[in-house]
Amino acid sequence: MIDATERVTATASAPMATPRPPEPAVRFESGFVRVERILAWLDGFMARWLPHEANPLAHAGAAANVALSIAIVSGVALLGWYFPSLQFAYSSVSSMGAHTVGGWVRAVHRYSSDLAMLFVLVHVARIFFARKFSGTRWLPWVSGVGLIGLVWFIGWTGYWLLWDQPAQQVAVTSMRMLDALPIFGEPLGRLYVADRMVPSLLFFVVFFLHMLLPLGIAVGLAVHLMRVSRADLFPHWKMAAALFAGLALAALLVPAPLDERAQMALKAPAFTVDAWYLTPLALALRFQHAGLWVALFGTMALAAAVPWLFGRRRAPAAYQAVVEPARCHACTQCVQDCPFDAITMVARTDGKRFPAQAFVDPAKCVGCGVCAGSCDSEGISLPWFDTRKEEARIETEIAAARTIGDPAWVAFVAGDIDSGLALFAATRWRERLPHFQVHFVPTASWARPKFVELLLKNGVKGVLIVRDARVEAAARDGNRWVQDRLTGDRKPVYRPDRAAGSLSWCVVDFDPARPAELAGAAAAFRAGHSTEFLIPRRRHPFVVALAGGVLALALAVATLAPSHLPVANPAPAEPEFVFSFRALGDRLENGIVDAALEAAKPIHMRGRSTEKPHRAAVTVRLTINGVTQERSCRAKGISHDGPALDEWRQPLMPGPHAITLEIVTGPQATPVRWSGTVHAEPRRLHVVTFDPDTGFRVE
C-alpha cells in the first residue's frame, strides 16, 4: 500500500490533469437543474420554520405510505358498516350518515386515499426533477408508474362501491371501455341501461378487487425499493401521528359526500366527484371509450418511458465505481455504505488470503462516489475521479498555492450540489468561501478520513466539507457518512493521532435558500469557534407548531377541494328512448356452397361443400309518432350462430310519444310487436328491453 504522506512530496511539483466528468445522465439537463434549484430553494425556505423531519412534502414517498396504511386500516374498519351487495350497498353507506362513527371512518378512508395520491404525485415530481430516473434507476421509476396505476385503479373501484350517481358513471364508463376491447362476445354495457339488468356478481367482483389489490401495493413496493438501501419507508412516528390527527380532524369537520342513489334511467344534471381518482370520468363523459384507453395507456406508457426519453445511455465504465482487487482487503465497509445496494462481496480473483473482494453491480451503481470514502486502502473508486490520482492532484494544488502564500484552509465542495463537475460553479464557490482553497469532490462522503488526516498532518490549517443537504440529495443517506466517519462513529474512523492531533475539520450543510450562511459558518470555523460545525437550526416550538399548522391547512385544502369537485353532466338533458334487445335469428339450413365461387378460390382455401349452420339477421323497426326506422342486426359469433344484440338510442322531445317496436327474426318469421305511449321527461332514459325468454319489458 502506498503511504499517502510520501505521495505529497512525490507529486508536489508534477502538473496534474483535471478530471473529465462523464456526460450528464439526462437530456435537457439545464432545464431540470433550473427547476430542481427552485425546489431546493423552497425546501430551504420551509426549513426555516419546520425541520425537514416534520415536513411530509420532504418525505413524500414515506408520507404516501402512511396515508396508504391509514386508508387500508380504515377500509377494513369500514366493513363494520358497509354491505357489499348491489342492493344494499348504497343504503348501508347512506345510513352511516355524516356525523357518526361509521361516517367518520368513511371520511378518513376517503381523505387518506386522496392524501396518498397527493403525496405520490409530489414524490414523482421531486424524483423527476432530481433526475432520479435514468440509468439503473429505471426499475424504481417503471415500478413506480405501475404503483401509481394500481393505487388509482383501487380508488376507481372504491368509488364504484358507493353505488351512487358518480358510481353509476364509473360503472358505465368501465363497461363501455371493456366493450371497446374484443374480449366479450356480448357487450356488457347494454346491461347498464336498467336497474333490473345490472349484474350483481360483477359488483361483488369489484368489491373483491378493491379488497385484494392493496396486497399488490406491498409487492410493488418490494420491487420499487429493491435498488435502494435503507429506504425511508415510513417517516418519523411523530409525522405519521400528525398526518393521522390531521385526517381525523378533517373527517370530523368535513363529512365525505354521497350523491343520490344510482338509477340507470336517470341522467343526473350534476354530481360530486373525487378528482384525485375520477378525473378519467371527465374524459369518458366526452370522448369515445376506445379513445379513453388510448389516453390512459398512452399516458402510462409515456410515463414509463421517461427513463429512455429523458435519460442518456452511458457506458457503465464511464461513471460507475470500479474495484481494484489488489487493494481490497475485504473489510465490507463499502458494502455497508453504498446507498444503492450496488456492492456485494464475491470470491477473490487474485488468490490473496482475504476471504472475498468487493464487486460493483453495474445494474445498480449510480456512480455517486460515496464508496470511495469508505475505503481506507483506496480499493474502490470512480473511474473519472480516481481517488489516488485526484487526492494527489489536490495535494499538489494545495502545495503550489501555499508556495505563493495562499491560506492553508481547504474546502471540499460536494459537486452534486451543482449537479456535477460540468456545472460546478467554481468561481461562485470561491466567492462564497473567501480564504479557502476550494476543491470539487463528487460528493461529500467521497472525502476519506485518511485524506483529511494527511492534509492536516501536512500543514493544512483546517478542512471544511460542504455537504449536499437537499431532501432529494443525489447520494441519499450516503451524505451522512462523512460526518459519522470524522466523529469516529463509522468506519473508517478519523484518527487525530495521524493528523498531528488536529481536529480541525468541519462539515457544513449547504442550504441553497441561505447561501450566505455558508460564509458565516466558514468564518466561524476559521476563527476556531467550532471544529464540527453544522448550521444549527434553533426554531422556537411555537414557530414550528404554527408552521406545521399552516402546512396542515394547506395540505387539507389541496386534498379536500379536488375530493368535492362538483361537475355538470355533459350528457344532453333531452329525454332518450332506449331499446336494448337480445334476439335469436331463425336458424338457417346449411346452404350449398356456390361451386363457381369455390373454384375461384386459391386451392388451399377450397374444400367446404356447405356453409356452416348460422342464424338469420334480426330486423328491428322503431316507429315514433308514425315515423319508422329500420335496422338489421347480424347474429354474433364467428359463424353467426349466436344472438343478435344491440342498443338503439333515440332522442325524444319531452311529452307523450306513440312508439311501436317490431322484431323480425328471419325472412319467413312473423314480426313480434310492442306498442305503447312513452311520456318523455327531461334527463330520463325510457327503456324497453327485449329478450327471447321474457319478450318486451318496459323498464
Binding site for ligand HEM (CB under 6 A): 61-62, 64-65, 120, 123-124, 127, 132-133, 137, 140-141, 144-145, 147-148, 151, 221, 224-225, 228, 231-233, 476
Q: Contacts by 171-174 with C-beta closer than 8 Å and gap 24+?
A: 171/198, 171/262, 173/280, 173/281, 173/284, 173/285, 173/289, 173/292
Closest distance to ligand SF4 from the beta carbon of 337 (Å): 6
Cell of 529: 469557534
Q: Which of ligand SF4, ligand HEM, none does residue 368 bind to, with CB < 5 to 8 Å depending on kind?
A: ligand SF4
Which runs of consecutive H residues, i.e. helices, occur in 187-332?
A: 200-224, 237-253, 275-284, 289-304, 306-309, 316-319
Q: Which of 467, 492, 466, 489 is nearest to 478 (CA)?
A: 467
Instruction: Compute the distance between CA of residue 411 and CA of residue 419 in angstroms, rounded to an integer.
Output: 18
Instruction: Compute the distance between CA of residue 490 and CA of residue 128 in angstroms, rounded to an integer.
Output: 32
Instruction: Compute the distance between CA of residue 507 and CA of residue 467 in angstroms, rounded to an integer.
Output: 7
Q: Which of ligand SF4, ligand HEM, none does residue 476 bind to, with CB < 5 to 8 Å depending on kind?
A: ligand HEM
HSE, CB side, 13 Å, CA atoms: give it for residue 365: 28
Total of chain residues touching ligand SF4, rule CB under 6 A: 28
Contact between 180 and ligand SF4 by CB under 6 A: the answer reads: no
Closest distance to ligand SF4 from the beta carbon of 103 (Å): 49
Instruction: Compute the distance between CA of residue 391 and CA of residue 320 in angstroms, rounded to an integer.
Output: 19
Which one of 72, 93, 242, 321 is in contact with ligand SF4 (CB under 6 A)? 321
Instruction: Compute the distance between CA of residue 69 and CA of residue 284 in angstroms, rounded to an integer.
Output: 30
3-class secondary-structure state, position 400:
helix
Distance of alpha carbon 441 from the chain centroid: 32
Instruction: Compute the distance between CA of residue 352 and CA of residue 332 in angstroms, rounded to an integer.
Output: 16
Q: Which of ligand HEM, ligand SF4, none does residue 370 bind to, with CB < 5 to 8 Å depending on kind?
A: ligand SF4
Q: What angle do CA 216, 276, 561 make, to 5 degrees?
A: 145
Closest distance to ligand HEM from the beta carbon of 125 (Å): 9
Closest distance to ligand HEM from the beta carbon of 114 (Å): 14
Cell of 544: 414550528
For ligand SF4, the closer of residues 96 and 343 by Cβ is: 343
Contact between 330 and ligand SF4 by CB under 6 A: the answer reads: yes
Contact between 420 and ligand SF4 by CB under 6 A: the answer reads: no
Contact between 228 and ligand SF4 by CB under 6 A: the answer reads: no
Q: Which of ligand SF4, ligand HEM, none does residue 380 bind to, with CB < 5 to 8 Å depending on kind?
A: ligand SF4
Contact between 147 and ligand SF4 by CB under 6 A: the answer reads: no
Closest distance to ligand SF4 from the beta carbon of 321 (Å): 4
Instruction: Compute the distance between CA of residue 265 and CA of residue 556 in angstroms, rounded to an integer.
Output: 36
For ligand SF4, the closer of residues 120 and 371 by Cβ is: 371
Instruction: Compute the distance between CA of residue 361 and CA of residue 316 in angstroms, rounded to an integer.
Output: 10
Contact between 381 and ligand SF4 by CB under 6 A: the answer reads: no
Cβ neighbours of residue 368 closer than 8 Å, sequence gap 6 or more = 339, 340, 416, 442, 443, 474, 475, 476, 478
Q: Pattern 567-606, binding to ligand SF4, x per CB under 6 A?
A: ----------------------------------------
Q: Pattern 281-320, binding to ligand SF4, x per CB under 6 A?
A: ---------------------------------------x
Which one of 107, 117, 194, 365 is in contact with ligand SF4 (CB under 6 A)? 365
Contact between 508 and ligand SF4 by CB under 6 A: the answer reads: no
For ligand SF4, the closer of residues 44 and 367 by Cβ is: 367
Within 10 Å of residue 606's Cβ, how many Cβ atoms?
Answer: 13
Cell of 392: 494527489
Instruction: Compute the distance between CA of residue 213 and CA of residue 149 in angstroms, rounded to an integer.
Output: 11
Contact between 373 and ligand SF4 by CB under 6 A: the answer reads: no
CA distances (Å), origin 429, targets 90, 104, 414, 471 = 64, 54, 11, 21
Q: Which of 514, 387, 515, 395 is nearest to 445 (CA)?
A: 387
Closest distance to ligand SF4 from the beta carbon of 189 (Å): 51
Q: Which stretch binds ligand SF4 (CB under 6 A): 208-216, 243-251, 369-377, 670-678?
A: 369-377
Closest distance to ligand HEM from the beta carbon of 220 (Å): 7
For ligand HEM, the closer of residues 228 and 328 by Cβ is: 228
Q: Which of ligand SF4, ligand HEM, none does residue 330 bind to, with CB < 5 to 8 Å depending on kind?
A: ligand SF4
Q: Which stretch binds ligand SF4 (CB under 6 A): 299-307, 333-341, 661-669, 690-698?
A: 333-341
Which one of 380, 521, 522, 616 is in contact with ligand SF4 (CB under 6 A)? 380
Which one of 22, 61, 367, 562 is in contact with ligand SF4 (CB under 6 A)? 367
Closest distance to ligand SF4 from the beta carbon of 51 (Å): 27
Q: Which of 210, 244, 274, 256 is nearest to 104 (CA)?
A: 256
For cell 462522503, the residue is 445
Q: Which of ligand HEM, ligand SF4, none does residue 256 bind to, with CB < 5 to 8 Å depending on kind?
A: none
Interacting residue ranges for ligand SF4, rule: CB under 6 A: 320-321, 323, 328-334, 338, 340, 342-343, 358, 360, 365-371, 374-375, 377, 379-380
